[in-house]
Chains A and B, each alone.
Chain A
Amino acid sequence: EPEVTQTPSHQVTQMGQEVILRCVPISNHLYFYWYRQILGQKVEFLVSFYNNEISEKSEIFDDQFSVERPDGSNFTLKIRSTKLEDSAMYFCASSGDSRNTIYFGEGSWLTVV
């Protein structure tokens, strides 16, 4: 069964450093997403991306965050200058034409120290 893959599975970074989380969505999917889950809290929406541009973003997704689809297969989330409160599990997801079934990856656990 096709799946969304994410790298790294776990990253520890120092506060203020830039981080790039990588995702390979399911091939032929057109819609891409990032969600995050801070420990002990709900999974929350960050951003959706379609046709090479952001289609929707949450209040969390401020200027420190950016997304990119640098080639035909990868979808990345960049955090420019990490803060302690960015520590969370980040989930990449994708969906096809139906836009109703969203498939998630296994997550990238980011720890900011």
Chain B
Amino acid sequence: AQSVTQLDSHVSVSEGTPVLLRCNYSSSYSPSLFWYVQHPNKGLQLLLKYTSAATLVKGINGFEAEFKKSETSFHLTKPSAHMSDAAEYFCVVSASYNTDKLIFGTGTRLQVFP
């Protein structure tokens, strides 16, 4: 069965420093992977998605993620954090190749300090 593990429940960074949110996946097939973000009192917004095209995926707001099959990882990065990046981030995998059901990780709360 497909699953994702977000390695950090909380990450704190200073504004202007790099962001790294870690995600490992488990999949019996070539997965579709996503990162969603949830700002306080807001819905889940798609940041980026990987669907077996380029392994380095660029998303919105300067975020990107790299699919590494050898490490079964899909870490989310951003070169320079902004205060507005403070939110909950979810790594998500599609449940199987023939379904659009999504499986969510437990989430990583990103805090950005001035």
Contacts and interface: CB of A to CB of B under 8 A. Distances in A.
Interface stretch (A11-19, A41-49, A79-87): A41-49
Is the contact region of chain A dominated by helix, strand, or loop, or is it mixed? Answer: strand
Is the contact region of chain B dominated by helix, strand, or loop, or is it mixed? Answer: loop
A95 B44 contact: no
Contacts of A106: 41-43
Contact of A100 (B42, B100, B103): B100
A100 B32 CA distance: 8
Contacts of B55: none
Contacts, number: 48
The size bracket of the interface on B is 20 to 34
A42 B105 contact: yes
Nearest to B94: A100
Interface in A30-51: 31, 33, 35, 42-45, 48
A44 B100 contact: no
Interface string A49-89: 00000001010000000000000000000000000000000
Contacts of A103: 46
Interface in A85-113: 91, 93, 95, 99-107
Interface in B91-108: 94-95, 99-107
Interface in B32-56: 32, 36, 41-46, 49, 51
A4 interface: yes
A100 B51 contact: yes
B89 interface: no
Residue from A33, A43, A45, A95 with most neighbouring chain B CB atoms (10 Å): A43
Nearest to B4: A42
B43 A48 contact: no
